[in-house]
Structure 1
Amino acid sequence: MKKDRILSAEQAQPQAATVMKKERDPRLDFFRGMAMLIIFVAHVPGNYWAKFIPARFGPSDAAEMFVFCSGFAAAIAFGGTFRRSGFFMGTARIVIRCVQIYMAHLGLFFVLITVCYVATDYFVGFDYIGKLNLRYFDTNTGEALAGLFTLTYVPNFFDIMPMYIGVLALIPLVILLARVNPLLVPVFSIGLYIVTWYWQLQFPAEPFSDRPWFFNPLAWQLLFFTGFAISSGWIKPPTPNKYLLIACVIFVLALVPISNWPLMREFPVLKEIRTELVYGFKKTNFGLLRWLHFLALAYICVSLLKGHEYKLKSRYFDPIIKCGQQALPVFLLSMTLSWIGGIILDQIGRDAFGLTLVNVSGVAILIGFAYVMAWTKSSPWRAKSVNTVFPKQEEETTVRDRAVQPAG
């Protein structure tokens, strides 16, 4: 019996080590959570607080943070499936995830257009359908529904989910390339990015104009697969180096003046420089300056956190990490809350009190929702509970369970 205990303990040690190796990097969830909260603040219409989000001080913003972290997380979530269960099952899981995102996209649209109809009817003098640029859906509902379901009608404000579907759909191809040689992945990603710019490859966003998707997945895949390749170990990021760190800091600071509109209005020369570099700032086709700026910021953060990652596990950061762990549902709620917050501000005014009320309560609701989602996903109803209805039956079941347990 003692020998059995020793063997069991020895067998448990490698299992425990495996669990430790697979422990989730807190940096991933922390920055995804930060992106979710910033996205909320950024999408509240007429929100003065949005003047202080990262996008006002550089080309890249919370969208880049979200896409990179999503690529990094996708390698963890789906890469293991391709390795363990083969290419077919891995692809099937990608398809299922794309369907989930597609349904989430449709659900978000119908929730928000309902909010717009209700608010427009209730608050006289406010056209929230037109304000969200959904007049086409109101006047051409049949055509708009066909476009909505085929992703040929993608209004602004509903554009990031279709892009995410597009980059996810490329994962099976990237996995095949990596099996031949991992270096083919960056070659393919950079090549597709260049071809997209050269031939202006885009997806139509509405049938009545030539406006493309606001986020072009053929270009944004560059950032997504940068995170995916780093997470998979196909490419190695540079190790912390003080000279490279200084260069990144200088690069980031140099872009602040030509990224901040109040500064550019004050100094016209900055606006002229911005005009010369305008293609680097383009969001639809993911301008190159956005990529370089994000990589510089990421390198700065990684260097400063090196050896201190454990501090992110503090209970003070847990609310943000929880939002990152529940990124999809939190994102969907944040987009809905941001528009509702704009409606509230229209009614109570955008003074200090109104802005504080909407922003603080919105962030609090998102954090609370993240905890609720985490609790729900833990399946608490499966936990063993005392049978208060049939206590005798509960006692008999417990005795029977103990009887069948192995000795020792």
Structure 2
Amino acid sequence: MTASGPGNRRIAAIDFWRGLVLIVIFINHIPGNIVDRLTPRNFGFSDSTEAFVFIAGLSVALAWGRFTARGDTASVVDRAWRRTSLLYMVHLLLTFTAIALYANAFVLTGNESFLLDHGRDVIFEEPATALLGIVFLGHQLGYYNILPLYILLVFLSPFILFAVWRAPLISLAVSVAIYIVAQLPQVNLPSWPLPGLWAFNPFAWQFAFVAGMVIGVLWKRDKLSLPASRPLMIVSTVLVAFGAIVATDAFGFAPGLFAAVYGLGGFDKTDMSVMRFMHFLALAYLVTQLRVGEQMLRFQWGRSLALIGRHGLAVFALGSVLSSAGQIYTALTEGTRLASGTITGLVVVPAGIMCLYWFARFLESRSSRATATATVTTQTAT
């Protein structure tokens, strides 16, 4: 999905942040590696998921807002539902690819954890029932449960965008009300065939999506940007600093602080707790006001992340498969020197990141060739 600003040009800073989020998700999905300790979730209350969903809402507003502006609702519906279909097919493909990977790992090793962990047990015990659950999004494998949320939000995005475009603040208030209700027990979509609820409660996480969309609409339609406010900067800095102190046990000087604070509750990820989202908003405000994304684009690695972000869905898909391969590697090497979190973090993870980067370069090259061919064809016809 193309994130375009008021002039309908891609916004490289958004691509940068999307690319960074995808890399962090990849790293976090290979447990135990040393690089994982350096990712944002270890220094605050939120993690890459809030950014993923917020950027999705922002991108919808920037990419499709121009159709809403001229009353072309049909184009928004067409694009949204075609995107939904693509996301759904990718989700099914990734799920079945993961099942095949873990099944082969079990055959090669006899390690039953490949069949039992993260919701895979029902697939091998009751395959017909599990298949129906997967097709209807009721059964979601661990590490493969963000796309169902994204599918639902994109499917509903034409209606949300229509409302936000006409009354952004009222729409945001309605979203907040739904979010508050979602904090009540059992206000979530049910899992099936296994008992339980969705890993990412759509009634709660829609708030991050709508918040991103509201920001995008105000930027796209009214040319408004987030105001520079000294009080907001101070509050945001304090909240981010507090999150870092708690998450790190005061950087090692207060052992048990993290456990004590989290034991009080209010940090649930399934329902996107208030503290998690406040921390994300504070962090997002700081990096926006400090123009961190724009500054990072001055460096080659920043532009490389933007390249990855331009091909978000494809890179996400490959990253999901590679992270499963990384999990299998970790299990296969357990008890050996190759199982070291240092080796996994400094060899396996960088190798995976390079694969994602070169895959994005390949997609960019193919896209550029297709654009050049189309231009030549048009000029010839003219």
> What's 1:215 paired with?
200
1:121 equivalent in alignment to 2:107: yes
Match of 1:319 among 304, 324, 328: 304
Offset from partner CA, 1:214-265 (integer Å, 9 cap, x none): 1111111111111111111179664223443232112111122333479799
Q: Is the 8 A contact 1:64 1:294 kept in 2?
A: yes
- Alignment partner of 1:74 is 2:64: no
**How far is 1:381 from its partner?**
8.7
- d(CA) in 1 for partners of 2:155, 2:72: 17
Aligned to 1:192: 178
Tell me which moved more, 309-318 or 169-178. 309-318
1:294 to 280, 283, 298: 280
| Distance (whole Å) between structure 2 residues aligned to residue 46 and residue 114 of structure 1 | 23
1:5-404 residue pairs with structure 2 within 5 A? 21-84=7-70, 86-125=72-111, 127-178=113-164, 180-198=166-184, 200-209=186-195, 211-233=196-218, 238-260=226-248, 267-276=255-264, 278-279=265-266, 281-305=267-291, 309=294, 312=297, 314-345=299-330, 346-347=332-333, 348-380=338-370, 383=373
- Inter-partner Cα distance in structure 1 for 2:199 and 2:353: 26
CA contact (8 A) 2:80 2:154 kept: yes
| 1:376–1:92 CA distance, 2 compared to 1 (3 A) | same
Aligned residues: 369
CA contact (8 A) 1:46 1:342 kept: no
Deviation at residue 187 of structure 1 after TM alignment = 1.5
Distance (whole Å) between structure 1 residues aligned to residue 275 and residue 212 of structure 2: 17
Aligned partner of 2:212: which letter?
A: G
Q: How far has the Cα of 1:162 moved from its partner? A: 0.5
Contact 2:189-2:197 within 8 A present in 1 as well: yes
1:305 corresponds to which letter in structure 2? R
Residue 103 of structure 1 deviates from its aligned partner by 0.7
- Higher alpha-carbon deviation: 160-169 or 351-360: 351-360
Q: TM-score, normalised by structure 1?
A: 0.82
* In 2, Cα distance between equivalents of 1:223 and 1:19: 20
Equivalent residues of 1:155, 1:206 under 8 A apart: no
Flag the structure with larger Rg: 1
Select between 157-166 and 371-380 the one with higher mean Cα deviation: 371-380
**Per the alignment, in what secondary structure is the counterpart of residue 257 of structure 1?**
helix
Shift of 1:206: 3.0
Inter-CA distance 351–294: structure 2 relative to 1 (3 Å threshold): closer
Closer/same/farther in 2, CA of residues 19 and 165 from structure 1, 3 Å limit? closer
Task: Answer whether contact 2:139 2:194 (CA < 8 A) is retained.
Answer: no
* Shift in alpha-carbon separation, 1:319–1:84, aligned structure 2, 3 A: same
Q: Which stretches in structure 1 are left out of the alignment for 5+ residues? A: 1-17, 385-400
Q: What is the alpha-carbon distance in structure 1 between the residues aligned to residue 5 and residue 83 of structure 2? A: 25
Task: Go from structure 1 to structure 2 and tell me whether the alpha carbon gap of 1:198 and 1:381 turns closer, same or farther (over 3 Å shift).
Answer: closer
RMSD: 3.0
Q: Deviations over 1:11-65 (max 9, x none)?
A: xxxxxxx999332222101111000000011001332321221001111111111
Structure 2 gaps, min length 5: 375-379
CA contact (8 A) 2:240 2:279 kept: yes
CA distance in 2, matches of 1:171, 1:180: 14
Separation in 2 of the partners of 1:58 and 1:311? Answer: 22
**What is the CA–CA distance in structure 2 between the aligned matches of 1:241 and 1:20, rounded to whole Å?**
23
C-alpha deviation, 1:102, in angstroms: 0.7
Q: Percent identity?
A: 26
Q: SS at 2:119's partner residue? A: coil
- The whole-number CA distance in structure 1 between the counterparts of 2:295 and 2:235 is 27
Partner Cα separation in structure 2 for residue 182 and residue 132 of structure 1: 39
Does structure 2 retain, via aligned residues, the 8 Å contact 1:265–1:271? no
Higher relative contact order, structure no. (Cα contacts within 8 Å, ≥ 6 residues apart):
2
What CA distance in whole angstroms lies between the structure 1 residues aligned with 2:233 and 2:74? 42
